Structure 1
Amino acid sequence: MSIEYNPVGWFEIPSPDLAKNQQFFQQAFGFEFEILEMAPYTMAMFAADHSKPGSAGALVQGPDVEPATVGVTIYFGCAEVGAQLEKIAAAGGTVLMEKMSIGEHGFIGMFLDVAGNKLGLHSMS
């Protein structure tokens, strides 16, 4: 089977208070954002290099945007899950699941951002 593209092309994280959630991700991960106004929505797009593997996405604020703790989970890659969970907690996020081994596939952890979205982390160490 030949794969010509990554199967996930875009994700959106609901953020009723866009500025607050953007600040959280900047503090916890060091992410940079580009703001895009698409009335009635405002997006804070994660800076991305589209020549590298992975998906791009944005924090989104709008009239029908609601945070979620059930359903699809987006996992952010990081150098080391335990250390990243500490940064998340220091930035105001809530750790839901401490670093857990998934065998040869690395490690995962789970957290809530300051908007209340359940998100995950993944690392190989």
Structure 2
Amino acid sequence: MESNKINYVELPARDLALNKAFFSQVFGWGFRDYGPEYSAFENAGLDGGFFQANFCSRPQNGAALIILYSNELEVVFEKVQAAGGTIEQVIFDFPGGRRFHFLDPCGNEWAVWSEPA
């Protein structure tokens, strides 16, 4: 393991089962439960997990924004909506690519980006 590098990220979830189903359906993540109030995600690009909480992670509240990458931005956009996510910002251009923001079923804000079209 590399020293002084980001190693793990934890995010709140009001409903662990709902968030696990969402991220499994949209992104193909796996999960390993550690008791009834914690579930680690796997195959997400960075190790981490969801902990049971009655609050959510949003940049406007001071939280970091986690940004995922996809080479099929429009496909992921549709999958997010079909799985119960809420689009916070539709696909837009930014210097270096395109992205959109969404809320997972527990209210955490995420973004997905892709190379320029």
Provide TM-score, normalisation by structure 1.
Answer: 0.75
Let me know the Cα RMSD of the aligned residues.
Answer: 2.3
Match of 1:26, SS state, is: helix
Q: Distance in 1 between matches of 2:91 and 2:6?
A: 25
Match of 1:99, SS state, is: strand
> Percentage identity across aligned positions?
31
Match of 1:98, SS state, is: strand
- Structure 2, unaligned runs of 5 or more: none
Residue 120 of structure 1 aligns with an amino acid whose one-letter code is A
- Structure 1, unaligned runs of 5 or more: none
The 8 Å contact of residues 80 and 124 in structure 1, kept in 2 or not, is answered as no
Inter-CA distance 23–124: structure 2 relative to 1 (3 Å threshold): same
Q: Distance in 2 between matches of 1:109 and 1:7?
A: 27
Aligned match of 2:15? 17
- Tell me the alpha carbon deviations over residues 38-69 of structure 1, each in whole angstroms, 9 at most, x when there is no partner: xxx732212148xxxx522112215xx52133
Match of 2:71, SS state, is: coil
Inter-CA distance 55–79: structure 2 relative to 1 (3 Å threshold): same
How many matched pairs?
112
How many angstroms does 1:111 deviate by? 0.2
Please tell me whether residue 120 in structure 1 is matched to residue 111 in structure 2.
Answer: yes
The 8 Å contact of residues 111 and 120 in structure 1, kept in 2 or not, is answered as yes
Residue 114 of structure 1 aligns with an amino acid whose one-letter code is P
The 8 Å contact of residues 6 and 55 in structure 1, kept in 2 or not, is answered as no
Q: Distance in 2 between matches of 1:122 and 1:91?
A: 19
Please tell me whether residue 111 in structure 1 is matched to residue 106 in structure 2.
Answer: no
Match of 1:19, SS state, is: helix
Q: Choose from 30, 33, 43 the match for 2:31.
A: 33
